[in-house]
Amino acid sequence: HDLLTKQSLSGIPLLILGNKIDKSEALSKPALVDQLGLESIKDREVCCYMISCKDSVNIDVVIDWLIKHSKTAN
């Protein structure tokens, strides 16, 4: 949460990835959101996806999110 207090990063969207959801011990999305206190972040867009690189779960969605939120250099 320290980075979220930096003025230079104010308003920048936050992407959280819960990886290795193919493992039985993986956190659920609600547990991850709760443990990180994501509900309390109100000054920017916060997006949380649960992913598995091994099983290619939500990788396409994450890439789409990154493209949508990337800034193009002029």
> What predicted TM-score, i.e. pTM, was given to this entire model?
0.83
At residue 62's C-alpha, the angle toward residues 54 and 20, to 5°, is 30
Residue type, 30: P
Residues annotated within the binding site for GTP are: 19-22
Model pLDDT for residues 28-47, shown as the tens digit of each residue: 999 999 999 999 999 999 99
Which CATH fold would you assign to the domain 3-69? Rossmann fold (3.40.50)
| Residue ranges of domains in the chain | 3-69
Placement of tokens 């193009």 in the chain: 72
pLDDT-derived band at 72 (thresholds 50, 70, 90) equals low
Residues annotated within the binding site are: 19-22
Buried b (16+ CB within 10 A) or exposed e, 12-27: eebeebbeebeeeeeb
